[in-house]
Amino acid sequence: MLDLLNGFAFSLDFFTALLSIVAIDVVLAGDNAVVIALAVRNLPPRTRARGILLGAGAAVILRVALTFFAAKLLDLPYLKLVGGGLIAWIAVKLLTDAADAKEGKACTTFFQAMITIVVADLVMSTDNILAVAGASKGNLALLVFGLGLSIPFVVFASNLLSRIMDRYPVIVVVGAAVLGKVAAEMVLTDPWLAPHLGLGRPGLYAGEIVGAAGVVAVGWLWSRRAAAKGC
C-alpha cells in the first residue's frame, strides 16, 4: 500500500491532500445531491435507494475519469455553452416530471433516472475536477481513495433531499432553480462567449438569477402545456 501511494501514506502530505480532497467533495456534493434527489424522486422507495447509491457511485467514477481530460476540456470553446444548455434542459425536465408525479402521471423509469444523473454529473463535474486533481498532487490512488470517501456524503445528502422533497414539494422548484443557476454560470463563463459579453461579477450574478428564474418559468409553462397529456 505504501508503494501504491508513492510515499504519501501516513505522512503529513498524505493527510493534508486527503483532507483537501474530502473538503472539496463535501462542497461539490451539493450539486450532485440535487440532481440525484430530483432524478430519483418519482421512483418507488426501494428502487430509489438503489438509484441514489448507483448515482453517487457513477458520479465518483466520472470524476476520476474526467481528471485526465478536464484541463483540456475547459479550454474548448462552446463546450460549457452546450453543457449549460444541457443542464438547463435537464432542470426543466426534472421540474415537469415532478409536476407529473403530483398529478399521478409520473413516467420516470430507473434507466431514465440513471441516464439523467450520469449526463448531468458528466457536464457539471468538469469545472470542479481540477481542484480535486490539484489536491491529489498527481497521485491517482490518493485521488480514487479520496473521491471514494465522498460517496457517503452524496448518498446522505441525496437521501435527505429526496425525503424533504416528498414532504415539501416546493423544494423541487428550489432544486431546479439551483441547476438553472449552474447552467447560467456555465454558459456565461464559456471561453468563447465570456470575452464577447465582458461581464463582471455583478453581471454574472444577475445572469445566474435570470437562469434560475428562467428554468422555473419554462418548467412551469411546460407543465401547464403537458397537463392534459399522459406519458
Tens of pLDDT, residues 17-43: 777 777 776 666 666 777 788 888 778
CA distance 95 to 45: 19
Interacting residues of 127 by C-beta distance below 8 A, sequence separation 6+: 74, 80, 186
In a domain, 3, yes or no: no
In a domain, 230, yes or no: no
Sign of the Cα torsion 56, 61, 67, 70 reads negative
Backbone angles phi, psi at 98, to 5 degrees: -65, -40
Q: What residues make up the domain containing 209?
A: 12-225
Quote the pLDDT of residue 73.
65
pLDDT band at 100 (very low <50, low <70, confident <90, very high): low
pLDDT band at 8 (very low <50, low <70, confident <90, very high): very low
DSSP annotation of 231 reads -
CA distance 79 to 68: 17
In a domain, 84, yes or no: yes
As a 3-state breakdown, the chain gives helix, strand, coil percent values, each rounded to 5, of 75, 0, 25
Q: Tell me the pLDDT tens digit for each residue of 44-87.
A: 777 888 888 887 777 777 777 776 666 566 667 787 888 888 88
Does 90 have pLDDT greater than 60? Answer: yes
Does 101 have pLDDT greater than 60? Answer: no
In a domain, 4, yes or no: no
CA distance 225 to 129: 38
In a domain, 231, yes or no: no
In a domain, 5, yes or no: no
Burial 26-55 (b: 16+ CB within 10 A, else e): eebbebbbbbbbbbbbbbeeeebbebbbbb
In a domain, 176, yes or no: yes
Quote the pLDDT of residue 214.
92
Domain count, the chain: 1
In a domain, 6, yes or no: no
More confident residue, 49 or 138: 49
More confident residue, 229 or 51: 51
Q: What pTM was computed for the model?
A: 0.68
CA distance 150 to 60: 8
